[in-house]
Structure 1
């Protein structure tokens, strides 16, 4: 009754000798992720909304420099009265032109606020863009990992099925007890559950990526997970996009203080016109100046609010600046640790598990080990493969997080 033993050994040999990337012989296209990122940037409504806000702020810059419109006035006096003012004989008609003259630098300060607000809106749109690129990269890596896990657990399910059939044959031949057949059947059911879960996880990961890119995602090659890219360059100084955004906000709030202070300065309205007297058919020039008296409204509340908003922005800038170096250091450490873990697993742990499984299989063939030892070796190898996939995914997510902090938009893997 050597056939069942050889059948089991053959099934185990096929499963144990298969690479972690069994179905992915073709390397991925270098532009696959780049194309997905480009598609997301072209269709994502959140980014389009941020870009529209930045474009709207450009209109504010134009409008801030516009002078007040002049006013035309028409005034008629001394008509439809009594005595000498009956009818229109004593009527006086005045046509005038009035112009508001802004004082205190209102127009220049208004332009400064609008320009600063436009700069902040542009930086906000850049941050939304960086967030979107990061989300696409993370979702892309998640889909690659989910596809890899599905292939691994489906391989495990196939091996469990072959093992269950071989053990059943050995039980019928009297070489093993019925308990071993029950255990093999339990392992098969567990493998089927894991395979079904992996399919659901892959479907969910694909839908998440499709939601970000706004369309269907073509089949991806999970071998892209193995591409860790170049090593991280040395840390360099600079300003992160979030710090730049708060610096722009500080500039806007400081300009807003100047605007509120200028509003406390009264504006002057000057006018000139011509008056016609009906009774003598004479005309005369009319000149006028109107100056508000700041007896009650000196815009103290507006000035106070502007100062407090400026203080808030400065505190937020200080917080962002302090957090910048810490966040970058943590992100770089995570990338380095994830890369080291993935390289160790790929270069040592998984090959070691493969060698151990091969040695156990050979010992089983020679009758030195029971088949349960071979199954344990197979589980160890499969667990190592799944851990490697998780390490690859963690690396790509950590790299995307770091690039988001620094403002890079590399499309990796």
Structure 2
């Protein structure tokens, strides 16, 4: 075979490989998120659904998860490629009439199903990247929901503090009337003014906590200045949480457990790759040798095969088998941990919902009636100001307990949604007025 023919054959092989390279070069570049929803203007209403949508579109962690999927897809493409052939040229001797020139073309042939095992592992990595993205979305949804209800609770604390200030002002006005009429000591007015100043300080602190809570919420979609967004409270009647048995059934299909199962499959695929590596690969050689002194050429054929005397990939295989066992143990531990978390969160959610109903239907109306009666009785001279302060303190404590119970109910419902789609009762919007 003439050396030019060997070169031509090599060019043919290169031309055969060019379409794959052209396909890679023609792939669109991976960029940042294409569109980010418009941030609501200051003073506008922000629903939970809008907050979640904005975080899903603009959160950097989700963009990183999407790029992990692209990376895994590229690895899958690379895993299916064949080894490149090798062209070699050697010469023996330096004198023109006595030297021997050899042209060789060698090709590595993978044995033992290495390429198939490698592709299977890359496919498992792709599925694992998709599962990780699902977990990231579920975690982000739960985090944004919790942050939303945290800010909503802070917003309710501001409203409660404002109500407390109004109540204290009302009590102070009643004390001024009684002191002006000479019916009580000026000490009662001093007490009322202290209570009003304390309520004003509480309002200032509640405003600061609301600003912090809004900042934590808006950070999920990259908004540096939280502004004065008004959060919309869920419907008056809290939606029913599914039963614990139903939630456990949904838990089996949760993104966390799906990722754990795919991790086990991925490690098992790695075992197949390391097991296939025990089989040595064959290198086939074909070429042409020309002896210029004798003026003759001859075909060169060869095959090379490494002898697996020492390295049979036994260490990597043992490690991959141990990693597969570890992945199974971690999957079982994840199942147990999620089941325990689901059970405790469900019980806390039920307790919080019961507290909300009790506070809303019994305690708050009665505390309001007691306070109104104390103020009226104080103005009529039937009660002293200590009775008014005691009724005021009971009413404010009841309102604070109600807001905390309401926040806990929403927060635990959001935690349930982290592992199973339990809903948060926030599909419609309305005001909740204690």
With the length of structure 2 as denominator, give the TM-score of the two structures.
0.81
Change (3 A) 1:366 1:172: closer
Decide which of 253, 263, 284 is 1:239's aligned counterpart: 253
Q: For residues 214 and 409 of structure 1, what CA distance do their matches in structure 2 show?
A: 25
Deviation at 1:48, TM superposition (A): 1.0
- Counterpart in the other structure of 2:50: 35
Q: For residues 89 and 331 of structure 1, what CA distance do their matches in structure 2 show?
A: 89
SS at match of 1:174: coil
- Counterpart in the other structure of 2:202: 194
Change (3 A) 1:217 1:406: farther
Decide which of 241, 260, 267 is 2:274's aligned counterpart: 260
Mapped contact 1:357–1:378 kept (Cα < 8 A): yes
Cα-to-partner distance string for 1:113-134 (whole Å, 9 max, x where unaligned):
1111221121111111111111
SS at match of 2:234: helix
Change (3 A) 1:254 1:221: closer
Decide which of 69, 72, 75 is 2:90's aligned counterpart: 75
Matched, 1:220 2:234: no
Decide which of 337, 344, 347 is 1:330's aligned counterpart: 344
Cα-to-partner distance string for 1:125-153 (whole Å, 9 max, x where unaligned):
11111111111111111111111111121
SS at match of 1:224: coil
Q: For residues 178 and 205 of structure 1, what CA distance do their matches in structure 2 show?
A: 41
Matched, 1:309 2:323: yes
Cα-to-partner distance string for 1:318-340 (whole Å, 9 max, x where unaligned):
11122333322222222222212
Deviation at 1:92, TM superposition (A): 1.7
Q: Any residues of structure 2 matched to 1:171-182 within 5 Å, and which?
A: 171-182=179-190
SS at match of 2:245: coil
Matched, 1:300 2:314: yes
Q: For residues 69 and 424 of structure 2, what CA distance do their matches in structure 1 show?
A: 24
SS at match of 1:97: strand
Change (3 A) 1:395 1:358: same
Matched, 1:371 2:385: yes
- Counterpart in the other structure of 2:149: 141
Cα-to-partner distance string for 1:240-280 (whole Å, 9 max, x where unaligned):
22221111111111111111121121111011111222234
Deviation at 1:229, TM superposition (A): 2.8
Matched, 1:391 2:401: no
- Counterpart in the other structure of 1:17: none
Decide which of 167, 175, 193 is 1:159's aligned counterpart: 167
- Note the residue ranges of structure 1 that are not aligned, 5 or more in a row: 1-27, 81-86
The number of aligned residues is 378
Q: For residues 322 and 195 of structure 1, what CA distance do their matches in structure 2 show?
A: 44
Q: Any residues of structure 2 matched to 1:10-29 within 5 Å, and which?
A: none
Q: For residues 393 and 203 of structure 1, what CA distance do their matches in structure 2 show?
A: 17
Change (3 A) 1:361 1:187: closer
Mapped contact 2:363–2:398 kept (Cα < 8 A): yes
- Counterpart in the other structure of 1:229: 239
Deviation at 1:394, TM superposition (A): 0.7
Q: For residues 206 and 394 of structure 1, what CA distance do their matches in structure 2 show?
A: 18
Deviation at 1:172, TM superposition (A): 4.6
Cα-to-partner distance string for 1:283-303 (whole Å, 9 max, x where unaligned):
211100010111221212111
- Counterpart in the other structure of 1:59: 74
Deviation at 1:355, TM superposition (A): 2.4
- Note the residue ranges of structure 2 that are not aligned, 5 or more in a row: 1-43, 428-434
